[in-house]
Amino acid sequence: ISDFKSPEAKNLYKQYLQMKNKLLQSQKELEEMRDKFGNANETQKKEMSPSIINLENKVAQSIQEIKDEQKAIRNKEILYLNK
């Protein structure tokens, strides 16, 4: 964080770190759900499927948001340095 010169880029980087941690938690939760799904009976699988799909979509969306955040951080820092 101390490498950033732009205060705005520093704040965005802090948000990025929080987003990354949430993503890692969601990925771990998804992995656990998939493991349970593999050992479940058909009824349980039908009940679990919507939750797994929902979390998969959330993870995919989070990955894209993190990429966008990385780009925003770089752009803010570049703009600040080019003043």
**C-alpha to C-alpha distance for 11 and 30, rounded to whole angstroms:** 29
Are 37 and 46 in contact, with CB atoms under 8 Å apart?
no
For residue 51, the model assigns a pLDDT of: 97
pLDDT digits 0-9 by tens, 19-75: 999 999 999 999 999 999 999 999 999 999 999 999 999 999 999 999 999 999 999
Q: What is the pTM of this model?
A: 0.86
- How many H-runs (helices) and E-runs (strands) does the chain carry? 2, 0
Are 6 and 60 in contact, with CB atoms under 8 Å apart?
no
Structure tokens at 50: 């919507």
